[in-house]
Amino acid sequence: MAWASQLPPGYSIEIVRSSVTADFIVTMLWIRSSTVRPAIIAGYHVLKIECYSYAKQLGVGEDIKSAKFNVGDQRWYLRCYPGGYNNDSANSISIFLSLDDHQQPLPKGEVKATFVFSLHHYAGEPVPVFTNTIKSHTFSTENRCWGIDKFIPRAALERSYIDGDSFRIRCDIKVLKEFIMEDTTVAQPQLPAAAQPELHKHLGQLLAMRVGGDVTFSVAGEVITAHRCVLAVRSSVFMAELFGPMKEKASGCIITIDDMEARVFRAMLHFIYTDMMPEMEEGDKMTMSQHLLVAADRYDLQRLKVMCENTMCSRIDTGTVANTLILAEQHCCIALKEACYKFLKAPGRFREVMASDGFDHLMCTYPFLFMEVLDKIAP
């Protein structure tokens, strides 16, 4: 069995008798190895600030402390400064992570951690533009607190993210404890993994086949069939239209959708049924995302709206930034506006954009927005 000597180091074979024609068979290949990995303890805490109208009256350097919570054998708490941590951040909300001042001395004198601060809007999703990661920080007895003094401008918070006079900040923490070694020898075949969820696939097929469709739309001259229950459970607007006081008017007739292209309506239905945006050519993603954002806002599809914002944020250029800024203003997309401002602040970028047709439209139609742009990019 000279071939056995050709196995790579760390591999062995088990040979047994078999009733088949061959005298010997290989029944299992053992992969012997070990893995060294860091022991990381993860956790999170959500701080909800209620009665914000009172909290914002706190002065610079005055904080609101969260309840204490444990992650990685350490006790932590959050410190939020509605009036800013210092004079330089007086127009912003500041947020810090702190070790408990009354805790016993730290083991080994320090604790290494990474953490993420994220503002959460009313739907419970993080706001990408106001999500900040502290990649690594070493906490010690002398240095128990670390954070971000300009976490979110107070004006942006009050304009778009205050819900019922409250807002939420989440802090995700990962604490490094030690490195551990594991024996990762494969001693037996792995059991088959469960199949991936296919509900979105099956609902997408239901939409494509139009089986059992009970509501019909006319969009730009094209007739499109869908299912009332699916639309209603996904969109509060469709719920009111199809099952609210106007349901009898909508029953048994074709519902006409104005001011929307058929391909955009079909793409919106694809999201409603599958929770995913349809496949698109790279060159179409910006334009389609603009149309879908308008549709998502119209039909109260918040997840689709955020997905469109994220797609557009990564595709802003000199030819689209003006129209994108107008769209963000019309549909209250704070993160998208901030991305436009960041794009315009690049050296020489504003001069290039001023030569575009879209910028002329911005100045003539939205002069207040033009003044806001000048204020944002001013040095």
DSSP string, 317-376: -TTTHHHHHHHHHHTT-HHHHHHHHHHHTSTTHHHHHHTSHHHHHHHHH-HHHHHHHHHH
Average the pLDDT over each of 160-169, 180-189, 220-229, 285-294 and give the range with the smallest value. Answer: 180-189
Cβ(120)–Cβ(46) below 8 Å:
yes
Average the pLDDT over each of 133-142, 223-232, 259-268 and give the range with the smallest value. Answer: 133-142
Number of H helices, E strands in the chain: 14, 14
In the chain, where the domains are located: 10-36, 38-181, 199-377
Q: What is the pLDDT of residue 53?
A: 92
Is residue 325 over pLDDT 50? yes
Average the pLDDT over each of 38-42, 116-120, 152-156, 279-283 and give the range with the smallest value. Answer: 38-42
Is residue 258 over pLDDT 60? yes
Q: What is the pLDDT of residue 32?
A: 65
* Helix orientation angle between 285-298 and 262-274, rounded to the nearest 10 degrees: 70
pTM greater than 0.75 (yes/no): no
Give first-to-last CA distance, the chain, whole Å: 77
Is residue 2 over pLDDT 80? no
Q: What percent of the chain shows pLDDT beyond 70? A: 83
Q: What is the pLDDT of residue 348?
A: 84
> What would the two tokens of residue 201 be?
């696939």
What stretch of H or E contains 204?
helix 199-209
What pLDDT, in 10s, does the model give residues 24-62?
A: 444 455 556 777 677 788 999 999 999 999 999 999 999
Query: Which of 361, 285, 284, 375 lies closest to 330, judged by CA?
Result: 361
31: helix, strand or coil: strand
Query: Which of 333, 272, 273, 329 lies closest to 304, judged by CA?
Result: 272
Is residue 311 over pLDDT 90? yes
E-state strands within the chain = 11-17, 24-31, 34-49, 64-65, 69-71, 74-81, 92-99, 110-120, 126-140, 145-153, 167-183, 215-219, 222-226, 254-257
Cβ(214)–Cβ(250) below 8 Å:
no
Cβ(66)–Cβ(47) below 8 Å:
yes
Distance CA 129, CA 339 (A): 8
Q: What is the pLDDT of residue 147?
A: 94
Split at pLDDT 50, 70, 90, the class of 180 is: low
**Domain 38-181 of CATH type 2.60.210.10:** yes
Tell me what the pLDDT averaged over the chain comes to: 84
User: Which position has the higher pLDDT, 85 or 250?
Assistant: 85
Tell which CATH architecture fits domain 199-377: 2-Layer Sandwich (3.30)
Do 38-181 and 199-377 show the same overall fold? no
Distance CA 31, CA 183 (A): 11
Q: What is the pLDDT of residue 211?
A: 87
Calculate mean pLDDT across residues 322-332: 92
Q: What is the pLDDT of residue 26?
A: 41
Q: What is the pLDDT of residue 186?
A: 60
Calculate mean pLDDT across residues 279-286: 90
Is residue 148 over pLDDT 60? yes
Is residue 100 over pLDDT 60? yes
